[in-house]
Amino acid sequence: MRSFAFTLLLCLFSAAEGGAKPLMYTDGVLVETKNNYAENSALLTYTLTPLDAFGIRVDYMRDDEQWLTTATYSRLLKRWNAPDSQANIWATVGAGVMSGGKGDRLDRMSDDDAMGAATLGVSADWESRRWYLSYENRLVYTSDDSEFHQSARVGVAPYIGDYNGVNLWLMVQFDHRPDEDEEFAVTPFVRLYNKRLMGEIGVSSTGDILFNASVQF
């Protein structure tokens, strides 16, 4: 019930959602919500320079019923701008608080239960106007535990959209979460975007809905 309410709040408070890069243009602000079979997330990111972005991220991990709130810093490690494609490698580190949890910890969930948490992730993508490939991983470390997640995406645009039109992509996401009840998941989904707005919706092999939305300012 709590996760449903959280998802609903995410949908209400962010105009769109998606798998957008945190590094945009100087002074750009990106608001995102990401919802998949394992977690619900809300992100607010500010791009200080094309190489550096700072953000706030809140995740609710449904299996463990845990909340993770982190301040994040993303650094573009390398970008290749070619005439017909772009590729990027970037890293994101985060520091914050993990709270809540299953069993005994859930019963006595309070501020006292919060513990420090650190995150580290590396992401890479390559895209042309027709094809899309990406990979990302994330390690969440607390004094209690550590969790690792990695995912990859492949996509194709059935038509080449122009700058002012609606762009449609057919994509598949592969998730690997060794610590989850469902270790692997495959999620076919549709991505739509038009300038400032991006939305993604699909259904995973676990029967859960993927819903991502992003809006940039």
Partner 1 sequence: MRLWITAALAACLSGPAAAETIVIGVNGMVCAFCVNGIETTFKKQPEVETVTVDLDAKTVSVVTRQDMTLDDAAIARLIAEAGYTPVAVCRDEHGRAKMGDPVCKPVATAS
* 216 interacts with partner 1 by CB under 8 A: yes
Q: Which of 109, 133, 161, 205 lies at the binding interface for partner 1 (CB under 8 A)?
A: 161
User: Binding-site residue total for partner 1 (CB under 8 A)?
Assistant: 35
Mark residues 115-154: x for contact with partner 1 by CB under 8 A, - for none.
Answer: ------------xxx-------------------------
Residues from 78 through 117 that contact partner 1 (CB under 8 A): 79-86
Cα 79 from chain centroid (whole Å):
20
Phi-psi region of 27 (alpha: psi -120 to 50; beta: other; left: phi over 0): left
Minimal distance in Å, beta carbon 164 to partner 1?
8
Q: Cα torsion at 72, 38, 208, 176 (round to 10°)?
A: 100
Residue selected from 6, 10, 14, 20 as contacting partner 1 according to rule CB under 8 A: 20
Q: Cα–Cα distance between 56 and 201 in angstroms, integer? A: 23
Residues 172-201 binding partner 1 (CB under 8 A) are: 193-198
CA distance 54 to 91: 12
Pair of tokens at residue 106: 């859930």
Structure tokens at 98: 């993990």
- Exactly one of 21, 57, 149, 177 binds partner 1 (CB under 8 A); that residue is 21
Check: CB of residue 35 under 8 Å from CB of residue 17.
Answer: yes
Binding residues (CB under 8 A) for partner 1: these are 18, 20-21, 23-26, 28, 49-50, 79-86, 127-129, 161-165, 167, 193-198, 214, 216
